[in-house]
Structure 1
Amino acid sequence: MRRAITAGRLRHRAVLEAPEDAPDGAGGVLRGWRALAALSVAVEPVRVTPGERFDAREAIATHRVTCRHRADVARGMRLTSGERRLLILAVHDPDASGRFLRLDCREEA
């Protein structure tokens, strides 16, 4: 059962970051991140599943993040909080009210 979305649940701080690519001088690009805004968020763990990356086993953790509505949040951006990095996979307005956004995220190692 999901709890109702209220502003009081947004008690964690995170920084919204957008990807920023720069030439690496050898014909490729280097991916960097540019901070856009500090947000108050609620983070709920959803699932941890086993996976593999570069022939190594790892756990893939997904989270549901709620924040106040912003027009500039998009898939491919990320949220950071301390050492934690959450890549935004999907963005939607859960109750079509324009008050909050629900972000489906995957935690980056």
Structure 2
Amino acid sequence: MTGVVFLDPGRLRTELALQAAATPPDGAGGHTEDWQEVATVFALVEPVGAASHFAAGQAHEEATHRVTLRFREDVASGMRFLKAGRALHIVTVRDADGTGRYLVCRVREEGR
């Protein structure tokens, strides 16, 4: 079979909290954003790129990473990983090779 991803499972050693956004009502017709932890996962986090742009009178920094983890049905774009206070927002999720063994997520981290 071609295109199968071979990954040493020992490389999945970065501990991440997988979180989903909850939006409870704020009592004034709107809602608040609250993040709830769904699971703790171990993953391989690899930097992909960084960019900087100027908008609204200030500089904005953004880094992208590739996060590889064991396959889970409950991972989706719009969720985030938390790593030592850093929020990695999930942009895309795909099965690494179609075998249901690993997920590859493209994530975005905004500068502080």
- Do both share a fold (TM > 0.5)? yes
Bigger strand fraction = 1
Match of 1:55 in 2: 57
TM-score calculated relative to the size of structure 1:
0.91
The answer for unaligned runs of 5 or more in structure 1 is: none
Of 46, 49, 53, 2:48 maps to 46
After TM superposition, the structure 1 stretch with the greater mean CA deviation from structure 2, 55-64 or 12-21, is 55-64
The answer for unaligned runs of 5 or more in structure 2 is: none
Of 11, 15, 39, 1:37 maps to 39
TM-score calculated relative to the size of structure 2:
0.89
Match of 2:30 in 1: 28
Of 13, 16, 19, 1:14 maps to 16
Please give the secondary structure, in 2, of the residue aligned with 1:89: strand
Q: Which has the larger radius of gyration?
A: 2
Cα-to-partner distance string for 1:34-93 (whole Å, 9 max, x where unaligned): 101000011000000112454310211000000000000000000001111100000001
Please give the secondary structure, in 1, of the residue aligned with 2:100: coil
Runs (4+) of structure 1 moved beyond 4 Å? none
Identity %: 41
The RMSD of aligned alpha carbons is 1.5
**Alignment length (residue pairs):** 107
1:97 deviates by: 1.3
